[in-house]
Structure 1
Amino acid sequence: MKTIKPAPVRRSVEVKASVERAFDVFTNGFGSWWPHSHTISKGKLRTAVIEPRVGGRWYGEDEDGTMTQWGHVLVFERPNHLVLAWQISSDWQFDPGVMSEVELRFTPLAASLTLVQLEHRHL
C-alpha cells in the first residue's frame, strides 16, 4: 500500500508593521490574537503562549489554569525567523512522539510593511 504525504501548507500576508513589531505581535502577543475556539484542551481557553526561546513551550492555558502543550520552539531568531514543533496527533492530543513544523519568516518590505510567510511541513 502506498502512503501519500500531504504537501506543505504555505501562506503569506503583508502586514502594516515593522518587522520587529510583526514578530513581537506574533510571538509575545500570541494570546492576544489566537482564536480562543482553537484549542485541544477540554476547558475554556484563557490565553495561548509561545515561550520566546529555543526549547520553549507552545501551549494553551485554560481559565482554570490548566496548560495544554501544543509543541515547542525549534528556532527563535528575532525578528526574522521562528520555527515551532507542532506535536498534535491525528486525534487532537499532544504527543511528544509526533512532530510537524510550522516555520514563519518575517521580511521587511518597507519601514512599516512586513511580509510574513508561513509553511507547515512534514505533515
Structure 2
Amino acid sequence: MTGGADRRRAWGFLVAAILLEVSATLSLRGALDRPWLYAVVVTGYVGAFAALAVCLRAGMGLGVAYGIWGASGVAVTALLSRWLFDEPLTLLMGVGIVVIATGVLCIELGSQAAMRQREARIGDER
C-alpha cells in the first residue's frame, strides 16, 4: 500500500467485508427459523467478497487482508452468537479469541515492518 488515503480506504473496505460476512453468517443461523433471512445471507456473502476485492485493489496484501478478515469473523461471530443465540462461550473459547486477536496483531505489525523495509530498500536504490 502506498498513501495514507489508500491505506484508510483498504481498511474501511476490510471492516465492511468483516461486518458483511459476520452478518451473513449470523443470518444463516437465524434463517433456520426465519427463511426470509436467506436473502440477507446471500447479499452479505456477495457483499463481503466484493468489499474484500476492493480492499485488495486498494493495495492491502492478500495474507494480511484474508488473515484479519477470517480471524475477525470467527471471533466476532463467536461473541455475537453467545449474545444472539445463547450459544456457549467457554473459557477455552475465550482464550482462543484472545489468541486470534494476538495473531491478527502480529500479522498487521509484521506487514507494517515489511512495508518499511521495502520502502527503505527502494529509497536506497534511488
TM-score, shorter chain, exceeding 0.5:
no
Which protein is bigger by CA-based radius of gyration?
2
TM range (shorter): under 0.3
Report which of the two has the higher share of helix: 2
TM-score, with length taken from structure 2: 0.23
Report which of the two has the higher share of strand: 1
